Chain A
Amino acid sequence: MKVKFLIVLSLAVVALMSACGKSDADLQKAVATKLAADNVTGVTATVKDGVATLTGEVADITVKNKAAASARTVEGIKSVTDNTTMRPVPTPVPAPADPMLQGKVEEDLKKAGCTGAIVTIASGTVTLTGTVPDAKYAECVKVVNESGAGKLDNKLVRGK
Chain B
Amino acid sequence: MRPLLLKGGRVIDPSRNADDVADVLLEDGRIAAVGRNVGTPDGAEVLDVQGRVVAPGLVDVHVHLREPGQEDLETIATGSASAVAGGFTSICAMPNTDPVCDNQGVVGFVIAQAQRAAKARVYPIGAVTLGQKGQQLAEFGELVGAGAVAVSDDGKPVATAHMMRTALEYARTFGIPVADHCEDMSLATGGAMHEGIVSTRMGLKGIPAAAEEVMVARDILLAELTGGHVHLCHMSTRGSVELIRRAKERGIRVTAEACPHHFSLTHEACVGYNTNAKMNPPLREAEDVDAIREGLKDGTIDCVATDHAPHHYDAKEREFDDAPNGIIGLETALGLSITELVGRGLLTLPQLLYRMSTAPARIFNLPAGTLATGAPADLVVIDPGVKWTVQPETFLSKSRNTPFAGRELTGRAELTIVRGQVAFRRTP
Q: Do A and B come from one complex?
A: no
Give the interface of A toward B (CB within 8 A). none
